[in-house]
Amino acid sequence: MKTFFTIYFICTSYLFCPFKACAQNVFNIMMYNCENAFDTKHDQGKNDEEYLGGSPRFWNRTRYFAKLRSIGKVITSVDSIRPVDIVGLCEVENDSVLHDLLNRTPLKYIGYEYVMTNSLDERGIDVALLYMPYSFHLISHTSLRARTASATRDILYVSGKVYGRDTLDVFVVHLPSKLGGRKAVSDRECVASFLKEQVDSVISLRTNPNVLVMGDFNSGPDSPPLVEILKAETAENISNPVSENLYNLHASRPQGSYKYNGEWDTIDQILVNGNLLDADNYMSTSYSASGIAVRPFLIEDDIAFGGKKPRRTYFGMKYLGGFSDHLPVYARFLIRGGKAHR
């Protein structure tokens, strides 16, 4: 109940905030792997039995709506002054989950709309983008499917205008899992190569492109998919960004977004092309304006390995009632009255 009223207070405070009138100088984004956001109904042809009634997880409507409220709390925690403008989500089961998230939690007071993929993933998990229609005017969206050895998750490509002016091209990704040995590595590199082709295509078509790639890459900033295939350089201390190149806003971070066997890694990342690091651009960000949202309620003591770890929903089959095994990442963009790119 306390969580509900906390989110309600934040969400309703947005309604009385004059951001519609005066806050067009900021555009916030975040990316969050919400860890198995499943409803309680079976999706035909999908392996979602562990999140049905009677499963060893004892998943039910009470836990389902608690999960949705938790996701809402994370989204509203990134900026207490104004809503995040676009939110990338990983591990969302279907439209029903997003409909309930945006209409049956306090997020309904914000007014988000969404688009999502409908991929061939065996478990039925997809990626999605929430957006504020006031600040991000949707132009188009489509699912992009790489040819891999096994069914995997589609890439979500979305195009829209920021405050009705500059076009922003967004890719939301969830690369194949680390589980599966060499085959998983091959699939991950295949999807990364396909993603690189799509990004390069958009960059070549735009006169002055603004491209954003965000998601769970299941690989750190120094891994082959990021460095060798996507060729994403660290955005830290970049003085002359190149429009055609990608830069990683979450490379070289001491704090990771995901912890496995006591080791932190930043597998959740936001990449931008060079224009979005250009301070003279209509919209721009920087390494210092981005980060990992390490909120106190999202972490807990790591008894096994020391330090802290994300507060997840389950540990094995034991229900913990936490948030996710990932931490959200974010970036803040400044909007200027300078050159507007189409």
pLDDT for res 173: 98
In a domain? residue 340: no
The letter for the amino acid at 116 is M
Q: What is the pLDDT along the chain (342 residues), one digit of tens a residue?
A: 444 444 444 454 554 454 454 466 999 999 999 999 999 999 988 989 999 988 899 999 999 999 999 999 999 999 878 899 999 999 999 999 999 999 999 999 999 999 999 998 889 999 999 999 999 999 999 999 998 757 689 999 999 999 999 999 999 999 998 776 777 888 999 999 999 999 999 999 999 999 999 999 999 999 999 999 999 999 999 999 999 999 999 999 988 999 999 999 999 999 999 999 999 999 999 999 999 999 999 999 999 999 999 999 999 999 999 999 999 999 999 998 745 444
In a domain? residue 80: yes
Q: Could you tell me which of 341, 102, 315 has the C-alpha nearest to residue 211?
A: 341
Would you call 320 helix, strand, or coil by DSSP?
A: coil
CATH number at residue 92: 3.60.10.10
Are 135 and 164 in contact by the 8 Å Cβ rule? The answer is: no
pLDDT for res 54: 84
pLDDT for res 23: 61
In a domain? residue 3: no
In a domain? residue 283: yes
Hey, how many other C-beta atoms are within 10 angstroms of the C-beta on 50?
14
In a domain? residue 185: yes
Strands 246-248 and 232-234: parallel
The DSSP-derived string for 128-169 is EEEE-TTTEEEEEEEEE----SS--PPEEEEEEEETTTEEEE
Count of the separate structural domains present in the chain: 1
Beta-bridge partner residues of 319: 314
In a domain? residue 41: yes
In a domain? residue 180: yes
In a domain? residue 7: no
Q: Which domain holds residue 143?
A: 28-333
